[in-house]
Amino acid sequence: MLLVQPTILGLTMSDIIKIKKPTRRHLSAPQKTFNRLKKKINTLQGELEKHQRRLDESLLFYHHEIQPEEKKLVNILNTFVKLLYERWKKPKVFQKKERRLAKKIILDRIDQIFSFCSPGEVDPEISAIFKKLQGVSYDNIVSEELNSFKKAMEAVFKEQGFNINLSDIDLNDDDQEMTRKIFEAMENADVGIKEEAPVKPKSQKQLEREKRALELQTLQKKGLSGIYKELAKAFHPDLEQDPEQKREKETLMKKLTCAYENDDLHSLLSLEMEWMNRSNHQENLQSDARLKIYNSILGDQVKSLQESIEMSGLHPKYFPLHSYFSEFGSGKILFGLKIVYQQLKEEVNLFEGTVKKLQSSEAEKELQVLMKRFDGL
């Protein structure tokens, strides 16, 4: 028996299947690059936001938890040093070896105090003890180190052709204030004339590369300007009568203006594609020549975002965290700070217990415990 395919409006079932089968759209190389770069930018923007949020959370934890604990530790160390120094001044309290060890313990704890304080924050009595034991004032040591640091920094920048003046930095500045002044000096630096070897004439290839780079830069600017002008016409709220659509276009226009003023091609393209999808009008994006312009700008934006992620931790406001970056890395900074916080609490408890015993009838016994504990270190 011969089977005949049913027909619908003169079409066989196989014809209908062929019609329904979607045709695969082949993307050109610029279109593939465009899609890849857009995806990369979305990912990097998310990473940057996450990274900055993690740094802000870490900074907040430092100020609310670690800094108060550091102050507690400094206070209890001040008391500990003064108590031990009073004992050290009495020759009969310690034997010769114990006396040397007690002096070392005192100086080690003073160094620890100095690590938490700027010179202006150090207890004057602690500074006086340091001078008596070392024979030189702490301020003099720090002043010499600071002057050497400033000269070294100025020399480094001078090598790069910048004359910076770091004379505003003084002993009373904490680390954060010092960093702020360095950044300020960098911004106000005079550009000096750096002696260089005579410049050789540029080759034809170099001239051609520079010409192409200039043309690309011009095309990039035209690309941004062209998108903005096209969308500004489409988004203009005064041309819309419907109240709801008018409000929608007002919002779109604000986003458009903000993106254009910030040279944010990614946002401009997102707005353009959103509008063209609504209008079923995408032929503008099919031009490979136009996509190449977009891709060059998107590529620059990828590099800029990558640099922002790498450099975000160097902002002066994050300076209190800098000493922890090398130990824990910026990715695990909050986890590391929580460990530091626990260590600080344990150290505070340890010295509080020691001080309490040194101020009691158990002082002699506690001194012997101290000698044994530090003698093995």
**What's the CA gap between 163 and 230, in Å, rounded?**
46
Total structural domains in the chain?
A: 3
**Contact, 297 vs 220, CB < 8 A?**
yes
Are 214 and 309 members of one domain? yes
pLDDT tens for each residue of 73-119: 999 999 999 999 998 888 777 778 888 888 999 999 999 999 888 87
In a domain, 325, yes or no: no
pLDDT tens for each residue of 29-43: 888 888 898 889 889
Per-residue pLDDT, averaged over 341-369, amounts to: 92
Are 163 and 73 members of one domain? no
Residue 95: per-residue pLDDT: 78
Indicate if the pLDDT at residue 194 is higher than 80.
Answer: no
Lowest mean pLDDT among 37-41, 119-123, 193-197, 291-295: 193-197
- State residue 195 phi and psi, 5-degree precision: -70, 125
**Contact, 84 vs 106, CB < 8 A?**
yes
In a domain, 257, yes or no: yes
Indicate if the pLDDT at residue 9 is higher than 50.
Answer: no
Are 85 and 118 members of one domain? yes
In a domain, 28, yes or no: no
pTM over 0.75: no
Residue 160: give the domain boundaries. Answer: 149-191
Indicate if the pLDDT at residue 157 is higher than 50.
Answer: yes
Are 159 and 253 members of one domain? no
pLDDT tier for residue 253 given thresholds of 50, 70 and 90: confident
Residue of 51 and 164 predicted with greater confidence: 51
Q: Half-sphere exposure of residue 137, counting CA atoms within 13 Å on the CB side?
A: 9
Per-residue pLDDT, averaged over 193-206, amounts to: 61
Are 100 and 185 members of one domain? no
Q: Half-sphere exposure of residue 251, counting CA atoms within 13 Å on the CB side?
A: 7
Residue 351: per-residue pLDDT: 94
Indicate if the pLDDT at residue 282 is higher than 50.
Answer: no
In a domain, 26, yes or no: no
In a domain, 344, yes or no: yes
Are 59 and 129 members of one domain? yes
In a domain, 30, yes or no: no
Are 70 and 99 members of one domain? yes
Residue 355: per-residue pLDDT: 94
Residue 237: per-residue pLDDT: 80
Are 286 and 310 members of one domain? yes
**Contact, 129 vs 89, CB < 8 A?**
no
Lowest mean pLDDT among 20-24, 153-157, 246-250, 310-314: 20-24
Instruction: Tell me the percentage of the chain whose pLDDT exceeds 70.
Output: 78
Residue 69: per-residue pLDDT: 96
Are 172 and 264 members of one domain? no
Indicate if the pLDDT at residue 259 is higher than 60.
Answer: yes
Residue 169: per-residue pLDDT: 80
Residue of 197 and 376 predicted with greater confidence: 376
**Quick count: other Cβ atoms within 10 Å of Cβ 120?**
11
pLDDT tier for residue 149 given thresholds of 50, 70 and 90: confident
Domain boundary among 191, 224, 257: 191
Are 309 and 339 members of one domain? no
In a domain, 1, yes or no: no
Are 87 and 153 members of one domain? no
**What's the CA gap between 185 and 182, in Å, rounded?**
5
Mean pLDDT rounded to a whole number for the chain: 79
In a domain, 18, yes or no: no
Residue of 303 and 2 predicted with greater confidence: 303
Indicate if the pLDDT at residue 271 is higher than 80.
Answer: no
